Amino acid sequence: MHIYIDQTIRYYLFYFKFRNTRIIGVECTNPIIKSLQMHAAN
């Protein structure tokens, strides 16, 4: 569970770091969604 939380925090930090770029739409939301789906599957 701690690993999952750490990964989520890293994605949020990545989002806040690059939130002013065009990348946020795909490169930030997709990893979060995928991580949530993987966590739900496990």
Q: State pTM to two decimals.
A: 0.32
Q: At what angle do helices 2-17 and 29-41 cross, to 10 degrees?
A: 170
Give the whole-angstrom CA distance, residue 31 versus residue 27.
7
Q: What is the pLDDT of residue 6?
A: 82
Assess contact for 28 and 15: CB atoms under 8 A: yes
35's tokens: 């991580």
Q: What is the pLDDT of residue 41?
A: 73
Residue 2 has pLDDT above 60, yes or no: yes
As a whole number of angstroms, the distance between CA 24 and CA 38 comes to 21
Between CA 10 and CA 18 the distance in angstroms is: 12
Q: What is the pLDDT of residues 3-37, one digit of tens each?
A: 677 888 888 877 777 665 655 555 556 777 777 77
Note the pLDDT of residue 17: 73
Give pLDDT, residue 26: 59
